[in-house]
Amino acid sequence: MEKVIMNNEAPATQDRKILVVDDEPHVIRSLTFVLEKEGYNVSSATNGKEAMTKIQESKPRLMLLDVMMPKKNGYEVCQEVKNNSSLSDIHIIMLTAKGQEADREKGLSAGADEFMTKPFSLKAVVDKVKEILGDGHETKN
């Protein structure tokens, strides 16, 4: 799948870097698809460990972080990131198929900016991303 890059020269690629972390390939696929459509630069990881590696390699502006993952779960990643001064400015949206209030609080208290439950509306996710990154002017389609 080729990436489609936005017409307008977006601000530094850095600013549009998004890391999608989920153990489900299809989820990565769908999220990557729409986000790229919106002009973001999307990379992915399928587990927490891989995620950390990718972060170190290239610091994204925002992470979409699934909770239930093998090896290292989303909370752990979140905490690690937030505890790391050099990484703590990364915005984090946590995604989970667990739907309880406790999880939401847990996520938010771990430092996530937002917490969204699956199944989510892709549009909602995109909007949220834009909101957090302050890219409100983007429209698609």
Partner 1 sequence: MKQKINTQNNTTERKQTEEALRESQEFSSSLLANSPNPISVINPDTSIKYVNPAFEKLTGFTLAEIAGRKPPYPWWPEEQGEEIVAAFKKRLAMEGGRTERNFQKKNGGRFWVEINSASVVHKGKTIYFIFNWLDITERKQTEEALRESEEKFSKAFHSIADAICITSLKDSKFIEINEAFTRFTGYTREEVIDHSAAELDLWVNEEELKRWIKKLREQGKTYNEEFHSRMKSGEIRIGLASAEPINVGGEPCRIVVIADITERKQAEELYRTLANSSPVGVYIVQDGKFVFVNPQFQKYTGFSEDKLVGTESLKLVHPGDKERVRESAVAMLKGKRLTPYELRYIVKNGDTLWATETVTSIQYKGKRATLGNFMDITERKQAEEALRQSQEQLQTMFESMTDGILVIDLNGVITEVNQRAVEMHGYKSKGELFGKSASKLVAPRDHERITANMQQALKRGKIKNMEYTLLKADGTEFPGELSTSALKDTSSKPVGHITIARDITERKRMEQQLKHQMEELENAYQKLKELDQLKDSFLSTVSHELRTPLTSIKSFSEILLSYDEDKETQKEFLTIINEESNRLTRLINDFLDLSKIEAGRMQWETVELSLDEVIQTALNATQSLTIETNLKVGADIGADLPTILCDKDRLVQVVTNLLSNAIKFTPDGGAIQVKAQLQNGNKPGRDSDMVMVSVSDSGIGIAQKDQRSVFEKFKQVGDTLSNKPKGTGLGLPICKEIIEHYGGRIWVESEPGKGSTFLFTLPITQKKEVKAAKAPEAPQAKKEEAKVVTKGGKEGKKILVVDDEANIRRFLKHELTNRGYHVLEASGGKEAIDLAREYHPDIITLDIVMPDINGHDVTAVLKNDPATKNIPILVLSIVEEKEKAYRLGANDFMTKPFTMKILTEKINRLLQDTQIQDAHKTILVVDDDKSLVKSIKYRLEKKGFSVDTAYDGKEAIEMAEGHHPNLILLDIVMPEMDGYEAMKVLKHKPNTAGIPIVVMTGVENVGGKVKALSVGATEYLNKSSGFDQLLKTIEGILYNKSGG
Rounded Cα distance, 45 and 5, in Å: 21
Question: Using the rule CB under 8 A, is 77 a contact of partner 1?
Answer: no
Rounded Cα distance, 51 and 18, in Å: 12
SS3 (DSSP) at 66: strand
User: Contact at 8 Å (CB) between 56 and 90?
Assistant: no
Question: Using the rule CB under 8 A, is 29 a contact of partner 1?
Answer: yes
Question: Using the rule CB under 8 A, is 122 a contact of partner 1?
Answer: yes
Question: Using the rule CB under 8 A, is 113 a contact of partner 1?
Answer: no
Beta strands (DSSP E) in the chain are: 17-21, 41-45, 62-66, 91-96, 114-117
Rounded least distance, CB 132 to partner 1, Å: 19
Task: Find the binder of partner 1 among 27, 42, 45, 112 (CB under 8 A).
Answer: 27
Task: Find the binder of partner 1 among 119, 136, 137, 139 (CB under 8 A).
Answer: 119
Binding-site ranges for partner 1 (CB under 8 A): 1, 24, 26-27, 29-31, 33-34, 37, 68, 96-100, 103, 117-123, 140-141
